Structure 1
Amino acid sequence: MTELRIARTAHTADLDAATLEAARTLLFDVFDDMTEDDWEHSLGGIHALVHEDGELIGHSSVVRRHLVHGGRALRCGYVEGVGVRADHRGRGHGAAMMNALERVIRGAYDFGALGADREVARFYTRRGWQLWRGSSWALTPAGIRRTPDEDGAIYVLPTAAAPLDLDADLTCDWREGNVW
C-alpha cells in the first residue's frame, strides 16, 4: 500500500528561525549552485515542508510576483526552492509539496510559473505545467531587457483566472540575482 505524503504549509512569517535555517541548509545541500539570492527568492510566501522522523527532508515555496503578459501585469504564484534530500527522493515528497503549492496557485493567483532544468522538467509537465514557448524578458532598472538564456526553461500552470498565449512574450518583475 502506498503511503500518502502530505506537506505542511505555512507562510514565511509563521515559520520559526530553526525551521527557516533547516530549509536554507537543505536547499544549499541539494543544489550545488544555490546562492543567498536564491534563498531570498524563496521567502515571503507560502512554504510546503515535508518532515520525516522529525527532520526536514523537503522544501518548496510559492511567492507572489507580477509577470507581464498580453499587456497586463498578472499575479503570478512563482515556485521557488523545490528540493528533496537525495536519500529521500522518489518517494512522493516532491509531489506532495507541489500538490500543496498548486492548490495555493489555483486559489490565489492568475497563473503559476517556475524555472526548471531539462532534468526535472518531466516532473512538472506530468503535473500539467506547460513549457512557455514565447520569448522571456525582465523589467530591469535599465528598462525591459531580453533574457534569452531562460527560453525553454520557464513553465507555467494556467488557471481559469487568466488565458495565456504560450507563444507570446512573458516579462518578469525585477529582483536581485537570477531574475527568473
Structure 2
Amino acid sequence: MKSRKILLGLFISVAIIQATVPIYMAWHWENILRTGQRFLWQTAPIDPYDAFKGRYVELRFKETSGPVSDSAGLPVGQTVYAIVAENAEGKAYIKEVSAQKPETGTYIKVKAYTDSQNKAHVVLPFSRYYLPEELAPAAESAYREHGGKNGVAAIRIKDGYGVVEQLYIGERPLREFLRQVPPES
C-alpha cells in the first residue's frame, strides 16, 4: 500500500513538472512581448517554410556588428552581450559588444566573432517572423518588392532576450500593407 502512495506521489510530481515547463516557456516569450523595450531594426527578409511551425519570414538585419568594449576580446563560441541603442532615426544598432553582462541598459545575449579591426559581428537570436499560411506568398512578394530598403522589424528586448513583435513596410504593419496592396494578376 505504501509503495502505491509513493508511486502516485511520484506520478503527480512528474505530471506537474511536465505541465509547468511548457507553460513557463510560453509565459517567458509573452512576457517579453508585453513588457520588453521596443526597438525598430532594419531588415532584408526572405520567406522560407518550417515543416513543424509553418510559414515565416526569415529576417536578415542590416545592423549586426559593433565595437568590442573589452580589451581582452571576446571568448570564441561563447555567449556574449550586445548592447543595443537607437540612432538619430530611431533605428536600433549595436552600440558595443562585451563578454561581461552589462549592469544597465538594454542588451541581447548573442554569439559573436571579431574581425581584424576588433569589430564584433553578431548572430541575432530573433530571425523568424511567423505568419498565417494564406498570407505567406503575398508577404514574401510584398517584402521583396517594397521591404528591401524600408523594411523594419519591431523587436521587444528584455533581460537579454528578444522577440519579433511586428514587421513593417515603411510606416505600415505588414498585414495592413497586404490588405492595401492589390493582388497580382
Q: Which has the larger radius of gyration?
A: 2
Question: How high is the TM-score relative to the length of structure 2?
Answer: 0.22
Question: How high is the TM-score relative to the length of structure 1?
Answer: 0.23
